[in-house]
A = this chain, B = another copy of it.
Amino acid sequence: MDKRRKPNPAERRRDLCDAAIHLLAHDGAKGLSHLKVDRRAGVPDGTTSFYFRTRSALLRAVAERLAELDLATLQSVADDGSTARPHQPSPSRLSQVVIQAGTEPQLSRTKARYELTMQAARDPALAAILQQATDAFTKLHREILVQLMPRGGELEPAVVEDLSNITLTFINGLLLRFAHGDRIIDSPEQLDGILTAISTGVLKSSGKGGLTRTGNAPVGRRRAVASG
């Protein structure tokens, strides 16, 4: 009989999800199967099927694991900013986190997230989990932005909404390029410069907000595509 300590169920689930993240990042959604997760995690065949009966259940667990990892990283930035250094010197930790997300080992998480997002278009339960993570990320991103900007606390909510929407959309595009090996910038200092430039332009152009959709239609809420 095997006398090694058996990992507890929570550890086992986490290890299986981490193996699935690796597979998604390197082989894509088509390269993910319960058996391949078993082999990658070095556990007996059938283990992943025992913990996650269906493919959708496995994908949902992976989405939750990714959200847990990403939010832990982002939360550490918010915590740091809110205590010791409200207005941080360059490079900001926000930019450090984004640049890290484009560099291994975190780049695999970034790639896996895009694979999941594509799957989510056809899996409402998975989409709901990813949307929760997006909403939480959006909220934290906004808090960090306000902390990072001089007199950020005095900005109109609509302006903060614009700044948040626009910089987050830029970061989405940047991470997508990183995921495809296209590193248009390398350093957090460069990203700070760009985010500052964008924010400066948004503040100059729109003292009252309204550049992006705000108010009754929260960012991230899925809505019917307007015709025309």
Verify if A114 is at the interface (C-beta below 8 Å from B).
Answer: yes
CA distance in complex: A118, B168 (Å): 21
CB neighbours (8 Å) of A119 from chain B are 28
A165 to chain B, nearest CB (A): 5
CA distance in complex: A190, B165 (Å): 13
Contact (Cβ within 8 A) A182 B121: no
| Copies of chain A in the complex | 2
A166 and B198 in contact (CB under 8 A), knowing A180-B117, A186-B213? yes
Which residue of the partner chain B has the closest CB to A200? Answer: B201
A205 and B211 in contact (CB under 8 A), knowing A119-B28, A226-B103? no
A204 and B194 in contact (CB under 8 A), knowing A166-B170, A169-B174? no
Contact (Cβ within 8 A) B211 A193: yes
Contact (Cβ within 8 A) B103 A114: no
Contact (Cβ within 8 A) B117 A220: no
A201's partner among B180, B197, B213 (CB-CB below 8 A) is: B197
CB neighbours (8 Å) of A180 from chain B are 117, 120-121, 222
Verify if A65 is at the interface (C-beta below 8 Å from B).
Answer: no
B-contact bits for A183-195, CB 8 A (1 contact / 0 none)? 1111000100110
Within 8 A of B (CB), among A170-228: 170-174, 176-177, 180-186, 190, 193-194, 196-202, 204-206, 211-213, 219-223, 225-228
Contact (Cβ within 8 A) A184 B201: no
Contact (Cβ within 8 A) A225 B103: yes
A190 and B211 in contact (CB under 8 A), knowing A182-B219, A197-B204? yes
Contact (Cβ within 8 A) B122 A28: yes
Residues of A within 8 A of B (CB): 27-30, 102-104, 107, 111, 114-115, 117-122, 165-166, 168-174, 176-177, 180-186, 190, 193-194, 196-202, 204-206, 211-213, 219-223, 225-228
